[in-house]
Chains A and B, each alone.
Chain A
Amino acid sequence: MIIGDNCLESTIFDIHRLSTHDGPGMRTVLFLKGCTLRCRWCQNPESFRIQQEVWHYPQNCIGCGHCIDICPEGALKRDVTNGIKINQSVCTGCGLCADQCPGKALKKNGQNYTTTEIEQILDKEKPFMIKSGGGVTISGGEPLIQADAVTEIFKKAIANSISTALDTCGQIPWSSFEKVLPYTDLVLYDLKHIDPDKHKQLTGTDNHLIQENLIKLVEYIQQPENNTSLWIRTPLIPGATLEKSNIKGIARFLMNNLPDKFDRWELCAFNPLPIEKYDRLGMDWEYRDIPLLTKEEGTQALFWAQSLSFDPEKIILTGLTSND
């Protein structure tokens, strides 16, 4: 979204600060709205649509009902349990209700920030980034949907000596990559499933473009004048990606195509916490009842991943696992 001459905006649904889980050091992570995939286990379902949405937080609701009258679409009505209820199929995400809510129980999901505003936010966190070898990570959704804004943010970050990382699923035209890569120090690239049919079943598209883009990315990295590093990330989802054939299959793919071109391969344990998010969006979630991975399951996945001749220290299990 372009507003004015040099004031690009991006739609962001969350900002994490001092994160140690999205790249090296302490990082500010910007989560951009809009995604080209629809992964069934997604941790951030509010990222799916690029449009703004409105969420209701029942614990803050005082049941005053002001919002019902304010809504131009008639998307709100009283609810016995939660105070009010939003009809998400009618709601346009204009956020008029959220602006007026005295309890701050209605919140816009997705806010537009200019790149200047982002620059200021990052500058505040800079002391921690510099000391810890961290920087900014842009994630989402699929951030490259807003490639122009991402490029601007990264340019300004680099000018302010802040290191940049891009967290992408790869399901985007290569031309978007080309815009951003010259200003990207690290790419966190998702490889979810090796089998194209399964990939389609689980995420909405097959993995053809994703793999093609990864190869092109590796060619880019190989050129001596380019200084971008690469980490691979695979979510470990029970019944979906957490299968021996898949993990070994991805390992084989990496071995065949880019054995020494990535610095790290993260296996990310599934996290069932987003249940509330799905409720708020009025969406169903089939992973509602799946528990945390056990330590054993995680270790087994690591074992599958290390089965080929990688440097074993490159492969890491991340995220919470339980001891039961």
Chain B
Amino acid sequence: MQTVIIKETTILKADKRIKRLITRSHKLATEHKRDLYVDNPEFLVYHWSGEAAAFSPNTGELSADKDTRINLGDHNARVDIGGKFPFINEMPSKKNGFEYTPGNWSEDYAFFLDHSPAEVLHNEEIVGEFHWMLEEARFFQYPESQRELGRKARELGAGGISFTHTAPDLSIGLFLGWSGILDKIRERRRAFTEYGNKKSAEYLAASETVALAIMRYIEKHADKADMLAENETDPELKANYEFVAANTRAIISAPPSTFAEAVQWIQFFTTVERINGHGNGYGRLDQLLYPFYKKDLEEGKINREKARNLVAELYLKYGGNYWAFGGKDRDQKDATNEMSWIGIEAYDITGGYNHLGLMWHPNIDKDFFNYGCDVVARHNCGTPTLINYDILRNSQLKSGVDEEDAWNVAYSGCQWYCVVGKEYNDQDLNSLVLIQPMQRAMQITADRNIDDFEDFWQIYDHEVNRTANILRDFKNETYLWQAKVWPEMVTSFCMHGPIEKGRDVTDMQAVKYNYTSVNILGTPNVVDSIYAMKKLVFEQKKYSMKDLIKVLDSDWEDEEIMRRNFLNQPKYGNDIDEVDSLSIRVSEHIREVLENKRNIKGYWFRPSLFQYMGHTYAGQFVGATPDGRKAKEPVAHGNNPMHGRNTEGMASTMRSFCKLDYSNYQGGSFQVELQPSFFPEGSRKGDFVEIFAETFFEMGGVQINLNTIDLKLLKEAMEHPEEEEFKNIVVKVTGYSAHFTVMDRKFQEEFLQRVNYSSL
């Protein structure tokens, strides 16, 4: 670090063709063609809107009012071209009757795919994109029995959708190809018919319908490319179309045999899979593609640059999928290979919005990790996100995942991760707002004139259990219906178990692991609140619980001195043992409560100390809190200290944060917002990122989301979103990235409130 000269790094650049694709991708985002909506703020806080079954369909009968729905940003793979699905009235379920059966679903899916245009655009070598999602054309809603429980759960502070947040094992499909998958389905269907298992036979008949539709869909692209090639006079464009025609035709039935075919196979799979879902991760791209790359390299069919360009297209086409790199192999050796580098290099030439995860461990290839950190620093988009592989694996092992499976854990989403191909753990979109049971406990304490802190804690325990119980009931009702209401048949093709068992991945006993993950919202506020009450209400008896509740109900009106007294109590995030030990107590408590609940699949519930955007909107639902927080303020972001309360620098914050054992939880990201002025002139920013990340991981942290962005610039971007210079700013909002100017204003405002570590 003594040198001031910037070390020589060859900064990779995109060629002209890729540059054009990048421009297109940015345009799609900034023109709001990749927007993802949720119905209402309730969705963000409780992860269930009470309206649509999951996210807000962009169009169709269950789409929300344009004025009230909330824009999460350009987080969609769907490319909007305006209007509804053109054949919406001819959907089989509309004409022949709707049923909650896999057969009925598969008929709709096949029709939908058959009537989705095959897009082969000029200038691209990897094709496949979609303009509507199945939920815009087929009825997607749970029965009233489930929704009633959802409303009850919300009353008590919980909720959640169950919807495609797993990671299929694409190596299954890459090995079998579509005809191999079809053969497997048919063979199992024959077997179940023989056994007399009608249910599984019917499910597999439906699977067959879906698989055949997918093969037709791929063929459409080959035919279209052929036609475009024939009519094309420009030799370069003609050659392009011919390449696409050959590349797509080769994988209609047969498994891919070249690198380019493998990438195309993946793009098609993720397209036809995402068309009925939102947001799976897709596993470890370096492990998936390396064998194809190696073979092509040996046969002289490819070079590093070509491979990089193809992966870059994969990223741009989909719009930023969750891929994992690095980590360890089955023998716990470093799994980094040349494909890992290519995967990050492909991002390096495209930049901007993406969701790659780099799984660090102490023996990772040092140059590779250094390169990854350099990419984070140079692009300023929080990509790749940096994750501690050992904690991921340990948390799986602690849950009871077998050692033979746990090694293949892959970063798969905002803060969650999957055992590739073997789980349906309902990750990410369940929520428990811990503040609410605390508030109920406070009221009961006041009503019963309780004056002892441990008695209050007992009541708190009881109320947390009440919330967990109703959440369990709501989820279980969901699970009873899920495979009927919205099976994930395409995902099931690349999972270990569903085809073999004739059961959808969302069904009981289809895949090996079926925990339920729950995001906990507001933990630092609960910690700070309980601490303040412990001191001021129970120990010093300066205020009564009754008075406190009254003041909170009026949002601290006319009681500013009282609010300051609560606000100025020691807070979580400053490495103060007394507060931090309460943080451990609160977090361990919710973990134990959830571990004691069983879902209908026989597994327990697991907490994640992170929640992606609920903290921005929660204020209106929970009101003012005893930590001195006013109702209109956001709550804390995951387990990060509440905005503005960590005043002792990053090391102290990390120490507070890492007093928890993150292998006890399912994720808990640490947010860092750095200003450019933090970095001295002529320094290599990536080296600093590496230092933060490694120090954090060595302290036991699991994931670090790093933004290096100028807050002043962001303020200007908020005022002038139409200016070209601001349109390309991408920030790592939380687990996912987004173009800043496209985000909902409230998200923008919250982002600007975050601590930045330049002014220490």
Provide the bound-state CA to CA distance between A26 and B678, in Å.
11
- For B2, the chain A residues whose CB sits under 8 A away are 24, 133
Is B1's CB under 8 angstroms from A318's CB?
A: no
- List the interface of chain A (C-beta within 8 A of B): 16-21, 24-26, 62, 64, 102-104, 124-125, 127-128, 131-134, 264, 313, 316-318, 320
Task: Please tell me which one of the listed residues B649, B687, B692, B699 contacts residue A125 in the complex, with CB atoms under 8 A apart.
Answer: B649
Provide the bound-state CA to CA distance between A85 and B16, in Å.
63
Is B564's CB under 8 angstroms from A18's CB?
A: no
Given A128-B691, A318-B681, is A25 in contact with B1 using a C-beta cutoff of 8 Å? yes
Given A124-B575, A318-B680, is A17 in contact with B649 using a C-beta cutoff of 8 Å? yes
- For A134, the chain B residues whose CB sits under 8 A away are 1
Chain B CB within 10 Å, residue with most, of A24, A103, A127: A127
Is A26's CB under 8 angstroms from B691's CB?
A: yes
Given A20-B679, A127-B699, is A104 in contact with B568 using a C-beta cutoff of 8 Å? yes
Provide the bound-state CA to CA distance between A25 and B565, in Å.
39
Is A104's CB under 8 angstroms from B564's CB?
A: yes
Q: How many A-B residue pairs have CB under 8 A?
A: 72
Closest B residue by C-beta to A318: B681
Given A127-B698, A317-B681, is A19 in contact with B760 using a C-beta cutoff of 8 Å? yes
Is A64's CB under 8 angstroms from B680's CB?
A: no
Is B1's CB under 8 angstroms from A132's CB?
A: yes
Min C-beta distance of A66 to chain B, whole Å: 9
Does residue B11 face the partner (Cβ distance < 8 Å to A)? no
Closest B residue by C-beta to A103: B564
Binary contact track B677-692/A, C-beta < 8 Å → 1, others 0: 1111111000110011
Q: Which of B667-709 contact A (CB under 8 A)?
A: 677-683, 687-688, 691-692, 694-695, 698-699
Is B683's CB under 8 angstroms from A20's CB?
A: yes
Does residue B651 face the partner (Cβ distance < 8 Å to A)? yes
Can you show 14 pairs from A to B with CB atoms below 8 A apart? A17-B651, A20-B679, A102-B565, A102-B568, A103-B564, A124-B575, A124-B652, A127-B698, A128-B650, A128-B691, A132-B687, A313-B5, A316-B681, A317-B681
User: Interface residue count for B (Cβ, 8 Å)?
Assistant: 33
- For B1, the chain A residues whose CB sits under 8 A away are 24-25, 132-134
Q: Which of B743-760 contact A (CB under 8 A)?
A: 757, 760
Is A16's CB under 8 angstroms from B699's CB?
A: no
Provide the bound-state CA to CA distance between A18 and B1, in Å.
14
- For B687, the chain A residues whose CB sits under 8 A away are 132
Chain A CB within 10 Å, residue with most, of B565, B649, B687: B649
Is B695's CB under 8 angstroms from A128's CB?
A: yes
- List the interface of chain B (C-beta within 8 A of A): 1-2, 4-5, 560-561, 564-565, 568, 575, 648-652, 655, 677-683, 687-688, 691-692, 694-695, 698-699, 757, 760
- For A21, the chain B residues whose CB sits under 8 A away are 680
Provide the bound-state CA to CA distance between A23 and B682, in Å.
14
Min C-beta distance of B641 to chain A, whole Å: 15
Provide the bound-state CA to CA distance between A124 and B648, in Å.
11
- For A62, the chain B residues whose CB sits under 8 A away are 560-561, 564
Closest A residue by C-beta to B679: A20
- For B679, the chain A residues whose CB sits under 8 A away are 20
- For A318, the chain B residues whose CB sits under 8 A away are 680-681
Provide the bound-state CA to CA distance between A320 and B353, in Å.
29
- For B652, the chain A residues whose CB sits under 8 A away are 124
- For A104, the chain B residues whose CB sits under 8 A away are 564, 568
- For B678, the chain A residues whose CB sits under 8 A away are 18, 20
Min C-beta distance of A153 to chain B, whole Å: 18
Beyond A16-B760, A19-B760: 4 further Cβ-contacts under 8 Å? A17-B648, A18-B650, A62-B560, A64-B561
Is B5's CB under 8 angstroms from A127's CB?
A: no
Top 3 A-B pairs, shortest CB-CB distance = A17-B649, A133-B1, A102-B564
- For B680, the chain A residues whose CB sits under 8 A away are 20-21, 318
- For B681, the chain A residues whose CB sits under 8 A away are 316-318
Min C-beta distance of B279 to chain A, whole Å: 35
Closest A residue by C-beta to B650: A18
Min C-beta distance of A234 to chain B, whole Å: 16
- For B650, the chain A residues whose CB sits under 8 A away are 17-18, 128
